[in-house]
Amino acid sequence: MMKNCWPCQAGSNFIEKNSWTVSGILLHVGQQTHLLSKNMSLFPPIRCCVNATDSVLPRGFVALEDKTFVLEPAFNPDNGTHWIYRGENLNLAPGSCGHGFNVSHFVLDTVGGPAHAFGTRHKRHAQRATKYVELIIVADNREFQKQGKDVEKVKQRLAEIANYVDKFYRALNIRVALVGLEVWSDVDRCSVTQDPFTTLHEFLDWRKLKLLPHRPHDNAQLVSGVYFQGTTIGMAPIMSMCTAEQSGGIVMDHSDNPLGAAVTLAHELGHNFGMNHDTPERGCGCRMTVDRGGCIMTPSTGYPFPTVFSSCSKKDLAASLEKGVGMCLFNMPEVKVLYGGQKCGNGYVEEDEECDCGELEECMNPCCNATTCTLKDGAVCAHGQCCEDCQLKPAGTPCRDASNSCDLPEFCTGANPHCPANVYLHDGHACHNVDGYCYNGVCQTHEQQCITLWGPGAKPAPEICFRRVNSAGDPYGNCGKDPKGSFARCEARDASCGKIQCQGGANRPVIGTNAVSIETNIPLQEGGRILCRGTHVYLGDDMPDPGLVLAGTKCGENMMCLNRRCQNVSVFGVHECSVKCSGRGVCNNNKNCHCEAHWSPPFCDKSGFGGSMDSGPMRLAESRSLTVGILVALLSLLAGGLIICLKRKTLAGLLFSSKKNTLEKLRSVGQNRPSSPNQMHSGFLASPARQTPPRPQSTSIYKVCPPLAC
């Protein structure tokens, strides 16, 4: 039997493993013909990913230690003949480059990753918890035409792409669940052109306004049949997972085999997760050498295709999760919406299943029968943070700590083995001692971004730096680009939402070798000058500027940067939501009250167990201690009563004394116990387009401004 093979995507109908043991499937390797037989001991350990349906013959990839082979049906597959060949020999679509592509994206090639960007935070053991990306893949009209105008053929290809991506991410404890496919068979729903920058923004806008309100999901990717300008084959914003505005990307279907597009999609999804490129100066560890494909986040993709992640990618992912990126990934996907139907062994507990620990060879769960997807004798549960030793944890047991000042903790309910879906503070809620406001579960401030760019000791520059530099409307001072691609000047009220301006820190930006400092001297009316430090990152003319202030950053009292404008946080309605919490709780992202420990949801106006309708009840250590104290007192009374009954005559005087002492003890306990919930204390803190100049030899650019210019 071929070991370590498994279907890659939940819910699809795949070829069973024992089908591989049947002799007679003809495979061609180069000029030699081999027969796949039961005698697989001749081969070294392998891993593979195979897709098949009732109407489509199996195809996939097989990794034999240091080589990757691709399995595909032959040109005339009526007799069941398949081709198996090295990954580097994959056919390229006409006009594509055969030795690698330069993948454009919104990323910063950081050295060592962004692990130190946000200071001390509470860790939630996010690496140990399985994350689930509910993915929708969209095929544009050109892709539909490219696949022979066959909708089912396009859907099958997209499903195969998702299967591969899910396989890649399993190694990171992430499942990519395909919850929807959309094929634009008549006309594109948004503008798709050869300009990848414009196409990306058009697609992300369409996703936010049209797709997301009607089909809830975590991330969407456009697979396009259009050939993008230059060598770009994919593009995606960095650290944008779960956001309504930017959780997505675009992928060019550049290879005959869907594995090629799958690697690019996995790469762009990695940028959404916060993964940067595996550049040489980062010293990334990759168990696949370059001639064997390297790792998925390498800056350029060639043949053979990479199928694994590097040590740098894992560090970047861990840092992003600790910052609060990916707040939506801790809930199980709705199994009824998984594309392709249910199947025992796909790792998702579906209808009529009590558990599902994956395929028999990979199942290590002591509570679940992998063959039947049923619980073993005596087991109540098999999966989830609220399941321990096959039994449910008590209600109130913490199952997910708050990861940052905008996150909220979750607790076991006592009735479900899974931790409740992740919740966090409502957008616009104050955080970091009112130095910032929460946005998508993250507290963004100018100071944090300056530290990210310039290292420890950096801080935001005075407001005059933002106003004077960002009013220029050039590559070094702007509020992004307008629809025509020209640099946009910042209005005075929006200056704090343009290019980030800092002071202090390192001598040069710490974010990578392709970043240079932009130092501007501004003369003051009272005499002297002030130094403003910005950054410019050379990523190409069609790239957005990673030196811009991040969305959600505080830009004034009750003000936040949104779409490069400084807007009032009242647009989120956080105040109206908090009012209903009776001053004893905070409003979460579902607009429900998260109550203090001794108050009950939904409105925190009655005594109870704390938490919210979403998070589960908090554990009440004080109440448990009080209960133990009362039980001890009652046992003391019973023991005293027994002694009195036995020695009534001789202990008459002691009886009176014992009663007095007992009453004093109870009175003491009553004094320590709050007389009402009101005594409890809160646990919460309330022009024409400009070309980007060529990269200079120096790592700094100096600008000197006259008193009223710049």
Catalytic residues, which ones? Answer: 268
Report the alpha-carbon distance of residue 165 to residue 156 in Å, rounded: 14
Which amino acid, residue 424? Y
Report the alpha-carbon distance of residue 537 to residue 49 in Å, rounded: 38
Report the alpha-carbon distance of residue 608 to residue 150 in Å, rounded: 58
Reduce the DSSP state of residue 663 to 3 states and report it.
Answer: helix
Report the alpha-carbon distance of residue 219 to residue 239 in Å, rounded: 12
As given in the structure block, the two tokens for residue 527 are 């005499």
Residue 365 Cα distances to 11, 382, 383, 394, 414, angstroms: 20, 7, 8, 21, 21
Closest C-alpha to 338, from 132, 560, 519: 132
Reduce the DSSP state of residue 330 to 3 states and report it.
Answer: helix
Between helix 311-323 and helix 258-273 the angle, nearest 10°, is 40
> What are the E-state strand segments in 603-650?
606-607
The answer to whether 271 is annotated as binding is yes
Alpha-helical (H) ranges within 212-304 are 212-214, 258-273
398 - beta bridge partners?
411
As given in the structure block, the two tokens for residue 396 are 């109130």
Task: Provide the sign of the torsion angle of the four alpha carbons 235, 239, 245, 248, taken in this order.
Answer: positive
As given in the structure block, the two tokens for residue 351 are 């209808």
Closest C-alpha to 316, from 281, 284, 280: 284
Report the alpha-carbon distance of residue 357 to residue 363 in Å, rounded: 5
Closest C-alpha to 99, from 250, 304, 269: 304
The answer to whether 201 is annotated as binding is no
As given in the structure block, the two tokens for residue 369 are 């029968």
The answer to whether 426 is annotated as binding is no
As given in the structure block, the two tokens for residue 273 are 């997760």
What residues have CB less than 8 Å from 202, skipping those under 6 apart? 190, 191, 192
Which amino acid, residue 577? C
Residue 42 DSSP one-character state: G
Closest C-alpha to 130, from 82, 160, 166, 170: 170
Closest C-alpha to 267, from 239, 323, 220, 309: 309
7: cis peptide before it, omega within 30°? no
Residue 569 DSSP one-character state: G
How do strand 442-444 and strand 410-411 relate by DSSP bridges? unpaired
Provide the annotated binding site for Zn(2+).
267, 271, 277
Provide the annotated binding site.
267, 271, 277
